Amino acid sequence: MPGSGIRLGMIGGGGGAFIGKVHRQAAGLAGGIQLVAGAFSRDPANNARTANEIGLDPQRVYASWEALLEGEARLDAAQRINLLAIVTPNHLHAPIAAAALRAGIHVFCEKPAALNSAEVRELAEVLAGSDALYGLAHTYQGYPMVWQARHMVRGGEIGRLRKIHVEYPQGWLSDDLAGQGNKQAAWRGDPALAGLGGCIGDIGTHAFSLAEFVSGQRIDRLCAHLGSHVPGRVLDDDCAMLFQTEQGASGVLLASQVCAGEENALSIRLYGDKGGLEWRQEEPNSLIHRSLDQPLRILRAGVNHTWLCDEARARLRLPAGHPEGYLEAMANLYTDLADAIAGGRASTVPGIDTAIRGMAFIETALASHASDTKWTPLTRA
C-alpha cells in the first residue's frame, strides 16, 4: 500500500482553519497514512474539540508544537510520528520544520517556507544535515494535467516558448474581514505572522511556482506593482508584474485577493512558435492545446486515456468523466512523499529549492515595487 507505515502528526489546523482539514482529508485519501498525533490550536478547547472530531487518542494530543516533539520523542520508534504536517501561520513554518528535521522527522509544510530568505537558508542547512525529507505544499503541482502540460512543453509540442501568462484572482478579501473578526484574514494581514508579503506570499508564490514548473524555465527578472485596496490593510492584496525568463520568454503574472466575485481562478497559458496550452484550476481535468495550423483540441484527464504522459497518468485516480480536484491533487503530494519515505526513492514533491525560489520571488517583487528602475533581477537561488 502506498505510504504504508506513515504515522502523521499535525501542527495547526484546528477548528476554523480551512487548510488543516484539507491536509487531513488528503492524507486519508492517499492511503497508508495514519494521523496519530497533533497540536491543532493554542486554544485548549479548540485543540481538544478538533482531536475529538478526528478520533485521536487524547494521550497524543499536545498543547504546543514543542510539547508534541518532546512527547513523541519519548515513544518507541515504531509508535512515534515519522511525518509532520505544518499548517500554522507563516511565522512558525521555519522553526517547527527545523526542529522536526533535527529530530529526524520528515516534514510537509504549508508555503511559504519561512518569513524571509535568511530563515530559508538556515532551514536548508538543517535539512542538509538531516536524513529526513522536506516537502512544500504547492498543491497545484499535484494535478495530473499540470504534469501533462509540463510534459508537452518539454517535448516541444508548442515549439520554442515565447509567452507565459499566469494569474490567480480571488475575491475573498474584497471586504475588511480582519476588521470583522475573521482570524484567517487577520493573521494574513499581520507582517509579524505572515511576513513582508500579503497576497504575493499567499497566492502569488503559487502562480510563480506553477509558471516555472510547467515552463521548465526560471524567471530571472521582473517589474512588479503591489497594492492594497482596503483601507487600513498593511500588506498587499493585489499584485501585477511583467517578467522574463533566462531563456528569453516574456510573461505576465497577476495575483489578487480583491477581485470581487472570483473564487479560486488560478490559470496558466503558455505560447510557443508552434502553438499554446491553457490550464485552469477551476476546471482541472481539461488541458487546451492550440496549434498554429491545426484545430484546437482538448485533452481530458482519465486513467483510461493512454495518450497522456506517464507522469499525468500516475496521478490519476478515476476513469474519464469523473472529476478529480483539489483534495486529489493534495493527496498526490502526500502519496509521493509517503512513497519516498517508505521506499527511499527521490520525491517529486516541491522541496527546499522551491522554498528558496519562492522566498526570492517575494523579496524581489517587493524590491521591484519599491524601486524606480524598470527591471529587478531575481537572484538565482
DSSP 308-326: S-HHHHTT--S-TTS---H
- Count of Cβ atoms closer than 10 Å to residue 351 Cβ: 21
φ, ψ (nearest 5 deg) of residue 216: 75, 10
Q: In this structure, are 100 and 243 located in the same domain?
A: no
Establish if 88 belongs to a structural domain: yes
Q: In this structure, are 111 and 167 located in the same domain?
A: no
Q: In this structure, are 183 and 34 located in the same domain?
A: no
Contact call for residues 50 and 15 (beta carbons, < 8 A): yes
Q: In this structure, are 82 and 64 located in the same domain?
A: yes
Domain, as residue range, for 232: 145-321+358-368
* Cell reading at 102: 533535527
Torsion of CA 90, 91, 94, 98, to 10 degrees: -130
Establish if 348 belongs to a structural domain: no
Question: What 3-state class would DSSP assign to 246?
Answer: coil
DSSP conformation letters of 158-211: T-SEEEEEEEEE--TTSS-TGGGT-HHHHHHT-HHHH-S-SHIIIIIHHHHHHH
Q: In this structure, are 209 and 314 located in the same domain?
A: yes
Distance between CA atoms of residues 212 and 240, nearest Å: 17
Of 75, 101, 136, the residue at which a domain comes to its end is 136
If we measure between CA atoms, which residue out of 144, 162, 138 comes closest to residue 287?
144
Sheet with 83-87: strands ordered across: 33-39, 6-12, 83-87, 106-109, 134-136
Distance between CA atoms of residues 140 and 119, nearest Å: 24
Q: In this structure, are 188 and 114 located in the same domain?
A: no
Q: pLDDT tens string for the chain (381 positions)?
A: 444 589 999 999 998 888 999 999 999 999 999 999 999 999 999 999 999 999 999 999 999 999 999 999 999 999 999 999 999 999 999 999 999 999 999 999 999 999 999 999 999 999 999 999 999 999 999 999 999 999 999 999 999 999 999 999 999 999 999 999 999 999 999 999 999 999 999 999 999 999 999 999 999 999 999 999 999 999 999 999 999 999 999 999 999 999 999 999 999 999 999 999 999 999 999 999 999 999 999 999 998 889 999 999 999 999 999 989 999 999 999 999 999 998 867 899 999 999 999 999 999 999 999 999 999 999 765
- Count of Cβ atoms closer than 10 Å to residue 161 Cβ: 24
Q: In this structure, are 94 and 209 located in the same domain?
A: no
Q: In this structure, are 299 and 185 located in the same domain?
A: yes
260-266 own/partner pairs: CB under 8 Å, 24+ apart: 260/171, 260/174, 261/171, 262/169, 262/170, 262/171, 263/170, 263/171, 264/170, 265/167, 265/168, 265/169, 265/170, 266/140, 266/166, 266/167, 266/168, 266/203, 266/206, 266/207, 266/210
Of 73, 103, 136, the residue at which a domain comes to its end is 136
Residue 198, judged by CB atoms within 10 A of its CB (0-12, 13-18, 19+), counts as buried
Contact partners, residue 185, CB within 8 Å, separation at least 6? 172, 173, 177, 178
pTM of the prediction?
0.95
If we measure between CA atoms, which residue out of 114, 31, 17 comes closest to residue 336?
31
Residue 208, CA distances (Å) to 45, 107, 375 in order: 38, 22, 17
Of 119, 136, 153, the residue at which a domain comes to its end is 136
Q: Which residues pair with 168 in a beta bridge?
A: 255
Domain count, the chain: 2
Q: In this structure, are 86 and 174 located in the same domain?
A: no
